[in-house]
Chain A
Amino acid sequence: MGLSSLTSRAMIRRILHTTTTTRSHNFSLIRSIVSTPELNNTASAAAEPTPDPPAPPPRPPVNNARVHFPNPEDAIEVFVDGYAVKIPKGFTVLQACEVAGVDIPRFCYHSRLSIAGNCRMCLVEVEKSPKPVASCAMPALPGMKIKTDTPIAKKAREGVMEFLLMNHPLDCPICDQGGECDLQDQSMAFGSDRGRFTETKRAVVDKNLGPLVKTVMTRCIQCTRCVRFASEVAGTEDLGMLGRGSGEEIGTYVEKLMTSELSGNVIDICPVGALTSKPFAFKARNWELKPTESIDVTDAVGSNIRIDSRGPEVMRIIPRLNEDVNEEWISDKTRFCYDGLKRQRLNDPMIRGSDGRFKAVSWRDALDVIAEVMHKVKPEEIVGVAGKLSDAESMMALKDFMNKMGSNNVWCEGNGGQPQADLRSGYLLNTGIADLENADVFLLIGTQPRVEATMVNARIRKAVRANHAKVGYIGPAAEFNYDHEHLGTGPQTLQELAKGSHSFFSALKNAKKPAIVVGAGLFEREDKDAILSIVETIAKSANVIRPDWNGLNVLLLNAAQAAALDLGLVPESDKSIESAKFLYLMGADDINLDKVPSDAFVVYQGHHGDQSVYRANVILPASAFSEKEGTYANTEGRTQQTLPAVPTVGDARDDWKIIRALSETAGISLPYDSLIDIRERMRTVAPNLLSMEEREPATYSTLIKPEVKKEIDPAPFKAAIENFYMTDAITRASKIMAQCSSQLLKK
């Protein structure tokens, strides 16, 4: 009685209160509960649902990604957290969320590998689905309503995180991945604050994968990214999952090292610290490193890298995304050659005295000596050779200087005796590295892309896997990581193909997008023109060169070759070395110095004391690629630029600055004083070298060239690179590369 009367009295009082006060003013201190018949009528509410709140503004896709619509009519619309997005038909829920700007946590999913769906971290809630859905695997259907921030999705993530951390060792302080670990970041963002695991954790024995990849398999969360990478992208089926349940281990089962040249990429792929970089182990934490975006120069691909440096020293090199060149991968040589930047460096100008020993001198003295000798020598006895790692600015300066001194014998290493620089299509990868993955028949002539240009090889493998492309190879027996037909070893096979009598010719002719790749190792042959002419005949008769698709490609070996030929570093005579009295080597270490006369005055300008230094009379220290801002053109004609990450070593200077100073000492100053000026000079010669990061395809194809009918040397094609790990001055000076070549090369 008492309570009920109290309540009823309170209710009466309230009702009385509301009727008097609702109509007076809106700023009443007592918030009244208004109950009117319209609001109580649920039937009308069901008939007219409350209008949706206004659509939230669209957000950019995760990573600012571009979406590839294979058929624009086939786009479907899904709703992610209330945002409507248009996606192509085959997209998964995770990709749809990426387009909508929602980054879903994941461990096993990688955009360039096949979908595994075993980590379960990407679970999201989809309306009308009984359980949360693995967004990496579920295809997005039209009209799907995806919710990523509901309690179910959050609980799923916390649960998965808890399970993953159960068997994960407490290694963060000693783990190299700390600071850049997906597990750390996702457990902070999506995990719960406490775990409930009180048993003992399991431990796994470490596997030896070689001198590059350090394994601590206890930390492995069995996401299988490395297994999928090794089998799909690298092509070597080294790694696999052994065992079941909590006893699962990733390993090679047999005691095998990862010999693939892409093995370093598993370090980036592994989300935890199970696979880390062995040379970089315990050297630095990622937050103390300063990143610099630059280009790799160990091969002609020009992979985009990021040089991480701490103070004056390069600590590591990791890849940078460039969809057109190297996607997200770099080769082992690129990744681990930074070691060589610290050894065998030239840091002072040196002059060889009369006793044959080198003495360190000042810049002024060295330049004076060189200028003096240059004036004593006749112009036709002056020869300049640019090296493999030279940038376009320095090659421009060298050519200008040599020309002003009266000499026209300047060339770049690796281009052969009489390089043809008239038609750009004669020395570029005309198809473009990105378009190579659309080709369906490949003919590789005298080139082993696996060692010469690893990223091009990765693209060819991509084409072989996706399009079932046929690959025919002419050259010495070599290892390939895709199925290929070894057609022959020498020019006879080429002649058969040109006549049309070879069985592979029909495949080439019937292909929708054929690609012929000629190796730059052929440039060294005497009958180079004849061989290239035969290749052009094949291309013409198999209709490889079309207006929209030029399939005749040349794969260059060095980073400097394309820019050198663009700038016109073509010697007047290929016998100039034998009669040279003054030889200017700008980083040229792979040149054959046997033919140089013993009284010739040799100047070596470079950054490593590699091979040519021992014949030099004067040494001028220059800067390496990580210390200078240089323009490089890669094998497909894309101009890219390195940026300086670390200071130059000792008293070294930039290459073109040395030549400019030398020109002033010699009395014929070159007309440029700054980088802008020398680039303007380059613009007059090769304007494509100024359009950064753009690929300038060749205007004319080699179809317009006349046929060359010369004798062909029946000698079989030789391998251009014997040792993948030791190709230029930097890699030869590197300890890691030495370890690799002793342990990882097939004997």
Chain B
Amino acid sequence: MATSLQRAGLRLTHLSRSALISTKYSSQADALVESRTGEIGVVAGIPEEHLRRRVVIYSPARVATQQGAGKVGKWKINFLSTQKWENPLMGWTSTGDPYANVGESALTFNSEEDAKAFAERHGWQYEVKKRHTPLLKPKAYADNFKWKGPPMQES
């Protein structure tokens, strides 16, 4: 008897807490904190010159050497960071750009809008590249055995 009362009480508190939570984070638009373009960069301590970058947002194509499509469909930001040189002592690649490896390895987005929002929040000028997708056409094994037409006349 007591246990059932306790459980009912717990259930009530769970409900109320979830209701509160849902109202707080129901939508980005009426979030408690709104961020303007480029503001996050300033707050995050990113240096000025890196807040004025130009970036390219794209969806990387499937790598041609394999048929696997597991990584297809992600969106990435290409920071156009080619300021690299060979370190004269050991020949290793040195760079002065903190965003050198960020775009390629660490930062992926699930949709184009997410990537655009991220770039906007940091104040970067972005350009979005169209995503190319393959076109599936009907194929049949029987095509191997279809009649291919009369033999071509050799001129």
| Residues of chain A at the chain B interface (Cβ within 8 Å) | 25, 27, 60-68, 70, 88-92, 95, 98-99, 103, 106, 110-111, 114-115, 117, 136-139, 177, 180-182, 185, 267-268, 271, 286, 290-293, 304, 306, 310-312, 318-323, 328, 468, 483, 485-486, 627, 629, 641, 643-648, 675-676, 692-694
Contact = CB atoms under 8 A, between A and B. Distances in A.
Contact of B61 (A91, A111, A182, A306): A306
Contact of B78 (A99, A139, A286, A643): A643
B58 interface: yes
Interface stretch (B21-29, B36-44, B63-71): B63-71
A433 B101 CA distance: 36
Going nearest first, the 9 A-B pairs with the smallest beta carbon separation are: A90-B138, A311-B93, A137-B141, A483-B152, A485-B155, A63-B69, A320-B61, A180-B65, A268-B64
A693 B129 contact: yes
Given A63-B72, A103-B69, A644 B82 contact: yes
A115 B72 contact: no
A67 B136 contact: yes
Nearest to B78: A643
Contacts of A629: 80
A468 B60 CA distance: 36
Interface of B: 3-4, 7, 54, 56, 58, 60-70, 72-73, 78, 80, 82-86, 92-93, 101, 104, 125, 127, 129-144, 148-149, 152, 154-155
Contacts of A321: 61-62, 64, 132-134
A526 B112 CA distance: 51
B69 A62 contact: yes
Contacts of B73: 60, 63-64
Contacts of A88: 138
Contacts of B4: 25, 27
Contact of A328 (B64, B78, B92, B131): B64
A647 B83 contact: yes
A483 B148 CA distance: 14
B72 to A, nearest CB: 5
A318 B68 CA distance: 16
A326 B107 CA distance: 29
B65 A312 contact: no
Contacts of A110: 67
Given A106-B67, A286-B65, A627 B82 contact: yes
Contacts of B138: 68, 70, 88-91, 95
B86 A27 contact: no
Q: Residue among A292, A311, A328 with the most chain B CB within 10 A?
A: A311
Contact of B136 (A111, A182, A646, A694): A111
Contacts, number: 162
Contacts of B92: 311
Given A27-B7, A182-B66, A293-B60, A66 B136 contact: yes
B136 A468 contact: no
B134 A111 contact: yes
Contacts of A485: 155
A181 B66 contact: yes
A486 B154 CA distance: 10
Q: Residue among B84, B137, B142 with the most chain A CB within 10 A?
A: B137
B90 to A, nearest CB: 12
A144 to B, nearest CB: 15
Contacts of B68: 103, 182, 185
Contacts of B83: 647
Contacts of A694: 130
A290 B103 CA distance: 10
Given A68-B135, A693-B129, A647 B85 contact: yes
A693 B93 contact: no
Contacts of A62: 69, 72
A235 to B, nearest CB: 13
A645 B66 contact: no
Contacts of A137: 141
A92 B141 contact: yes
Given A643-B78, A693-B129, A92 B134 contact: no
Contacts of B56: 643
B135 A323 contact: yes
A98 B125 CA distance: 36
A274 to B, nearest CB: 13
Contacts of A25: 4
A639 to B, nearest CB: 11
Contacts of A306: 61, 63-64
A304 B131 CA distance: 12
A428 to B, nearest CB: 20
Nearest to B68: A185
Q: Residue among B68, B70, B78, B130 with the most chain A CB within 10 A?
A: B68
A229 B80 CA distance: 35
A675 B130 CA distance: 20
Given A676-B125, A693-B129, A182 B155 contact: no
Contacts of A320: 61, 64, 132
A180 B66 contact: yes
A115 B144 contact: yes
A486 B155 CA distance: 7
Nearest to A467: B149
